[in-house]
Amino acid sequence: MKHEEPHSPVSFVANVARLPHKGLPVVIIADEAQRTELAREHDLLSVENYRAEILVAPWKRNGLKITGRVEADITQACIVTLEPVQAHVDEAVEALFLPEDSKFGREGFDSAGEIMLDADGPDSPETFSGDKIDVGALAEQFFGLAIDPYPRKQGVSLQAGTDNEPAENEFQQKLRSLLGKS
């Protein structure tokens, strides 16, 4: 899978042609306009602050290892009441990249040309072309994955029944019917 760089409000293109041996540290602190755009793109009420600290380091022969952390304070709408819900995002960033002309990028990691994946291990490397990578866009991807897709205000329940008779959700109803229980 080739890595395509999406447009990102926190774009930071790092030149990886001549990386220092210890790596290239990158710090991204979003300004107000960038935070407004992040909120719009991720369907948030607001992003109060956003900071990514990334290290772009050489990996293997021609590859790159990108590690770091993205932190943000965000406000979402409760999925039940639509009231504001504040949350803190603190997500590790970790990715491996290989040049698209790399032997591993073309052939995989074993002699049969298959990439072996370990569900609990790191993701397989993505490929890149040229000598630049948008580490800001990568950090934003990890930020987006860390956002709770179903934010709820504390103490609010999704149950729709009365206090004496809680409502079943659709999954529970299907499970009950599959098990033949009424």
Residue 42, SS3?
Answer: coil
Lowest mean pLDDT among 81-90, 92-101, 151-160: 151-160
The structure tokens 């041996």 sit at: 21
Q: Report the first-to-last Cα separation within the chain, whole angstroms.
A: 47
pTM of the shown model: 0.73
pLDDT at 119: 56
pLDDT(137) > 80: yes
- Indicate the helix (H) or strand (E) that contains 137: helix 135-146
The mean of the pLDDT values for the chain is 81
